[in-house]
Amino acid sequence: MQAAPGPGSATRYRLRADAGGVRFKQGETELTLSDEGIAYELDGRSGLRRFADLRGVRLQAVTGGRRSRWEALAELTFAAGLPLIVHSSGAWGVDEPERDRSFVAFVEDLHRRLLAGGQGHVAFRRGIPEGRHRFLIGFVLLATVIFGGAALFALSIGLSGRVGFLEVAVPLFVLGGFGAWMWISVARSAPGTYDPRRPPRDVLPE
């Protein structure tokens, strides 16, 4: 973990970022946090998004790739222009502990600077937007009914003695694990607010 920067100092991070869903590139972006704001450099372009124009910070847990169960993103919205979205994951969804630590350090540094600067106008949110979360709950409920029916059907076949125990146990185990993962996703992505003095750890990368 990086040490807390001193007053007036700037800290650089190498992370993946995009602007409002328009990805800068499939690699890393250099982000520099200072007391003034967040600067970026990429492909010969540079810019500074000032904290005075910052309107909201949203932290969200996202599903990782095949080798990384959970990742995270931080969405920064400003008074004008597209939001800046910083990702903990790499371009290909591979688990990279060093990148995860850098993302957590970035989030902690960001909140520390905002608190020190008295940015009381900034809204701090967690999870996905409420509309998307309601849709996700509906989807998971529908999937629960469908997969629950499939599990009961498999169980009835097993109890009838027409197939062996393992032939039934394996599909039931897979269905149970998938169902648990879906409900964990619902819980982790629940919308809400948080105290910037204590950023939510459960949405940060594992």
pLDDT in tens, 136-173: 788 888 888 887 787 777 777 777 777 766 677 777 77
What CATH code is carried by the domain that includes residue 29?
A: 2.30.29.30
Q: How far apart, in whole angstroms, are the C-alpha atoms of residue 88 and residue 74?
A: 9
Task: Examine residue 5 and state whether it is found in any structural domain, yes or no.
Answer: no
Q: Do 91 and 154 share a structural domain?
A: no
Task: Examine residue 160 and state whether it is found in any structural domain, yes or no.
Answer: yes
Domains held by the chain: number: 2
Strands (E), the chain: 11-19, 22-23, 29-33, 37-42, 45-50, 54-63, 70-78, 84-87, 123-126, 192-193
- The pLDDT of residue 130: 81
Q: Do 171 and 103 share a structural domain?
A: no
Q: Do 134 and 99 share a structural domain?
A: no
**CB burial of residue 62 (10 Å; 0-12, 13-18, 19+):** middle
67 pLDDT more than 60: no
Q: Do 119 and 43 share a structural domain?
A: yes
C-alpha torsion sign, points 194, 98, 115, 72: negative
Q: Do 107 and 23 share a structural domain?
A: yes
**CB burial of residue 162 (10 Å; 0-12, 13-18, 19+):** exposed
Task: Examine residue 63 and state whether it is found in any structural domain, yes or no.
Answer: yes
Q: Do 89 and 27 share a structural domain?
A: yes
Q: How far apart, in whole angstroms, are the C-alpha atoms of residue 3 and residue 5?
A: 6
Model's pTM, two decimal places? 0.74
The answer to which of 43-52, 60-69, 89-98 has the lowest mean pLDDT is 60-69
pLDDT, average across residues 125-140: 84
pLDDT, average across residues 49-70: 82
The answer to which of 30-44, 93-107, 170-184 has the lowest mean pLDDT is 170-184
Residues in the chain: 206
Q: How far apart, in whole angstroms, are the C-alpha atoms of residue 135 and residue 142?
A: 11
Q: Do 120 and 40 share a structural domain?
A: yes
Q: What pLDDT, in 10s, does the model give residues 83-122?
A: 889 988 876 666 678 888 999 999 999 999 999 988 778 9
At residue 75 the predicted structure's pLDDT band, cuts being 50, 70 and 90, is: very high
Q: Do 101 and 197 share a structural domain?
A: yes
Residue 113 in contact with residue 107, Cβ under 8 Å?
Answer: no
Task: Examine residue 4 and state whether it is found in any structural domain, yes or no.
Answer: no
Q: Do 170 and 120 share a structural domain?
A: no
Q: Provide, rounded to the nearest whole percent, the portion of the chain with pLDDT above 70.
A: 83
Q: Do 118 and 24 share a structural domain?
A: yes
Q: Do 42 and 103 share a structural domain?
A: yes
- Helices then strands, each counted (H, E), the chain: 3, 10
Task: Give residue 114's domain range.
Answer: 11-127+191-203
